[in-house]
Structure 1
């Protein structure tokens, strides 16, 4: 694509060994011919605890920078030689991005910043501002809009990860569950509500597509996904591919709201899951227009059928 806007060529990832970071660094590596340099910043603890994984990336030519994410000196030194910062930090480390942004804004080399926005749209509508799981990401966006001028920032909003949704629930099946081993599913609502999903592999692929598409504005919000389906449609696909009739139960929206409120009152470890699933059930993943085409990804997405095949293959 001919453009006067230079594309990111030297990409540094934070959180590359985490839940979604693994997919991002893998797809970056798969597209390595498009980049001059790929690296990731990690802690000494991660190097020790995930030695095999880190060493494997190092052997493949990915630069490993070890330091303290809370040290301005370590981060500033890490930025040298890179033009793009990618954050894949988890929900419990979201605010760590603020000092990363501060250093990036003053860095002579960093031009692009991709915050950890993968997941539910935190500015979907007026009610989004009050949703508890959105608060830290909203603080990061506020900081960016008030304190960054040089950086070009891209938010890649993917919606829920289908890999996690189409799996057994952790802690309470009533939050929604697809238990392949037991051939059981708990569908939300009446099972006919549409939810847009992104496979974790597609998150990485969409991310690379975003990098390879010029970002000309100070702020770019890309709302992307793989496919839109209903609980009943997904269940039918699992039943067809497993050749078995599954046991099915339902959690209504009213019941989900009750369980959500109870989970927050008791400070349940899955309280955020209840809220996010309620948002999705209420339509908080559906957009009039998605951004896949804007970054040249329309028609390249994984589909429900092939994704279910992958889930079953991994289980077997």
Structure 2
């Protein structure tokens, strides 16, 4: 007899990563619930469209708010698994979710808003340091409260970091020259958002990922920026001028950048200069690697993704 699929509540489902997680939950046959703030769609036509799409896909919309404990508990009582995909500005509010999970008392697994670097293995500066320190605090609270968890380390999302061939800033491939942080040799991991959703769904009912970090490190998606640029040059048949920016200059640029640029630049710095995606071994006591656990998943490779940009 097939096991019944876990019921999943996604908090922050209308956000960038959240939409992929919601779609993956539906795609894999889980009863899917999305927590939406009452009236939040009224002021935002894009959000209203996303919510309509959710409803059409069979997602149950539950109204509630991170700052309304009773509504959170009520929503959580309807499900088995809670996944938070809240945005950067709400990461620090997640203890409210943790408190509601404690009160509800029925949750089999909690996945906090991670889906990036392994925040226990990073060397960040500036805005990235502030964000990652907050994520570390959330991890420690979850552990201290004995809430069953999985932390998903998805590294870089393909559609955000690959269109610029790894350059910090532009949203389209370089045509003449490309700016490279550091020496361009740090190995960075890129994952297609649909695959992040698929691996996350595989993990939520898997005893092997309980109270573990799930690392997404597909062998064919680990590239240095130099290798990435060479692959792109091979596809386009055009050489790019490579402009290398030493770390001292990168740090100066981060310091002098306008507020809205500090976070993306400092996150780039952790991966492309410090090599924080790959400069440590996975501790088997604490973590597992997704492609080893789920070799059946046919993931999109960086090579295949770049073909879409041609």
- TM-score normalised to the size of structure 1? 0.83
Whether the aligned pair in 1 keeps the contact of 2:73 and 2:103 (CA below 8 Å) is no
The match for 2:194 is 201
Task: Determine whether 1:262 maps to 2:256.
Answer: yes
The match for 1:307 is 305
d(CA) in 2 for partners of 1:232 and 1:128?
Answer: 22
Whether the aligned pair in 1 keeps the contact of 2:217 and 2:291 (CA below 8 Å) is no
Shift of 1:188: 2.2
The match for 2:162 is 166
Whether the aligned pair in 2 keeps the contact of 1:209 and 1:297 (CA below 8 Å) is no
Shift of 1:180: 2.1
The match for 1:72 is 69
The match for 2:277 is 285
Shift of 1:47: 2.5
Whether the aligned pair in 1 keeps the contact of 2:80 and 2:106 (CA below 8 Å) is yes
Task: Determine whether 1:230 maps to 2:224.
Answer: yes
Q: How does 1:50-89 map to 2 (within 5 A)?
A: 50-89=47-86
Shift of 1:88: 0.4
Shift of 1:208: 1.3
Number of aligned residues: 296
Shift of 1:65: 1.0
The match for 2:267 is 276
Shift of 1:256: 1.2
Deviations 1:148-187 (A, max 9, x none): 22x3111001112232122349xxx974657327454222
Any unmatched runs of 5+ in structure 2?
Answer: 283-287
Candidates 122, 144, 153, aligned match of 2:149: 153
Whether the aligned pair in 2 keeps the contact of 1:202 and 1:301 (CA below 8 Å) is yes
The match for 1:143 is 141
Shift of 1:83: 0.7
Whether the aligned pair in 2 keeps the contact of 1:97 and 1:140 (CA below 8 Å) is yes
Any unmatched runs of 5+ in structure 1?
Answer: none
Task: Determine whether 1:47 maps to 2:41.
Answer: yes
Whether the aligned pair in 1 keeps the contact of 2:167 and 2:179 (CA below 8 Å) is yes
Whether the aligned pair in 2 keeps the contact of 1:86 and 1:113 (CA below 8 Å) is yes
Shift of 1:293: 4.0
d(CA) in 2 for partners of 1:38 and 1:23?
Answer: 13
Assess, with a 3 A threshold, how the Cα gap between structure 1 residues 243 and 159 changes in structure 2: closer, same or farther: same
d(CA) in 2 for partners of 1:54 and 1:178?
Answer: 26
Whether the aligned pair in 1 keeps the contact of 2:124 and 2:266 (CA below 8 Å) is no
Assess, with a 3 A threshold, how the Cα gap between structure 1 residues 257 and 104 changes in structure 2: closer, same or farther: same
SS of residue paired to 2:243: strand
Assess, with a 3 A threshold, how the Cα gap between structure 1 residues 294 and 128 changes in structure 2: closer, same or farther: farther
d(CA) in 1 for partners of 2:265 and 2:281?
Answer: 25
Q: How does 1:112-123 map to 2 (within 5 A)?
A: 112-123=109-120
The match for 2:285 is none
Shift of 1:282: 1.4
Shift of 1:70: 1.0
SS of residue paired to 2:249: helix
Q: How does 1:122-141 map to 2 (within 5 A)?
A: 122-124=119-121, 127=123, 131-141=129-139
Q: What is the root-mean-square deviation in Å for CA atoms of aligned residues?
A: 2.9
